[in-house]
Chains A and B, each alone.
Chain A
């Protein structure tokens, strides 16, 4: 065994995972090679040093937040038991076809709602969520030019009730989106504007939003308001109350 071979086995040797023939060969080499003996001791000392790293645990507040957000099954994750699958199938068989069609006409795809909440959380938890700070909509809207292949249309420039904080480019589900961030008192409200094609939208919706129709859903404690206008889709997401979200939605839709 030469020094190169010997040094490649030192970590396994110090961890006691080297098989007997190699261990004996290595020990024979170490006995006659001060350089490799030094390397073996230094590597063992490094392992001891690494044990001195603080065994930090995640803060309790982080764990509480994660458990509160994810412990309930969410859309997009798979059902965890055969029983649940069978129950779902039985329920599906029991449902009449007409109510299903009515329901689907009013309710958006659950995955779309779940993804809207995920995207909102990414904005909330980003270290620097805003790529352009708001000096008014006339500063924010031109900033999107050249960054998107569509113009994010909205008539609303923010006001005292819903001040515009700024904007950034991000994603909604699988596509690029303009993201405008508003505030309602202490609540952050995220508006996503994105091409609407290819998503499963409700044909009717369950809410009137100014002059538009859309859907208001709740997922994991967040309200999600979804609607379409021209070729664009709009999603407002926040933990503020539903009335605030509908009010802001109507302002974003604007007068007919």
Chain B
């Protein structure tokens, strides 16, 4: 298994050729909760977001076509629900971060020269889970989403479905997001 990714075997088959059933959808609760938790930063808000996701996915009027990738579809609904709540809270035109990864600080991070020598590696090796949670929280919504869903084991085509872009764009977004995360970790450890 690739380093840093969830074993895909923990999931049921993400692609279903059958009509949507609640049982199939609810198998993804843990993964949805993990992303919700790291987007919202609180257990209570994460639970609300997961509830909202299933209300949208399983409620009347949901648009699920047989053959759709269920896992990607659910994560896309969760991301959109989070962005909707984010807009409501701000009560003004949406922050640019949710729909693209053009957060200037993210982009700048990908072009900055890394630390030379082993200092960066030594610092990273000394870090714990809380350090990376803190650094992740400073990234834009899409940068966080692409990193976390990559860790969850989503494929590039699934990530493209979640974020609504091409597979080629996903490659560059993931690369920039990881570079931005390294930059934040470096700042955080100083």
Residues of A within 8 A of B (CB): 7-8, 11, 14-17, 35, 38-39, 41-59, 62-63, 65-67, 69-80, 111-112, 114-115, 118, 121-122, 125-127, 173-174
Interface centre among B18, B54, B116 (most CB of A within 10 A): B54
Please, which residues of chain B bring their CB within 8 A of the CB of A14? 2-3
Contact A45 B125 (CB under 8 A): yes
> Which of B33, B61, B171 lies in contact with A58, CB distance below 8 A?
B33
Contact B19 A71 (CB under 8 A): no
Least CB distance, B169 to chain A, in whole angstroms: 13
Tell yes or no: B9 within 8 A of A by CB.
no
CB-CB contacts below 8 Å: B96-152 with A: 114, 116-117, 120-121, 124-125, 127-129, 131-133, 147, 151
Least CB distance, A133 to chain B, in whole angstroms: 17
A interface, over-half SS: helix
Contact B22 A126 (CB under 8 A): no
Q: Which of the four size classes fits the interface of chain B?
A: 35 or more
B interface, over-half SS: helix
Please, which residues of chain B bring their CB within 8 A of the CB of A78? 19-20, 64
Contact B127 A66 (CB under 8 A): no
Least CB distance, A74 to chain B, in whole angstroms: 6
Tell yes or no: B25 within 8 A of A by CB.
yes
Please, which residues of chain B bring their CB within 8 A of the CB of A11? 174-175, 178
> Which of A55, A57, A77, A111 lies in contact with B22, CB distance below 8 A?
A77
Chosen A-B contacts, 9 in total, with CB atoms closer than 8 Å, are: A45-B125, A51-B3, A53-B133, A71-B23, A76-B58, A77-B21, A122-B52, A125-B52, A127-B48
Please, which residues of chain A bring their CB within 8 A of the CB of B45? 127
Contact B3 A125 (CB under 8 A): no
Contact A38 B29 (CB under 8 A): no
Please, which residues of chain B bring their CB within 8 A of the CB of A46? 4, 124, 178, 181-182, 185
Contact A121 B19 (CB under 8 A): no
Please, which residues of chain A bring their CB within 8 A of the CB of B151? 50, 53
Contact B2 A16 (CB under 8 A): yes
Least CB distance, A184 to chain B, in whole angstroms: 22
Contact A38 B114 (CB under 8 A): yes
Tell yes or no: B26 within 8 A of A by CB.
yes
Please, which residues of chain A bring their CB within 8 A of the CB of B181? 46
B135 closest partner in A (C-beta): A49
Tell yes or no: B51 within 8 A of A by CB.
yes
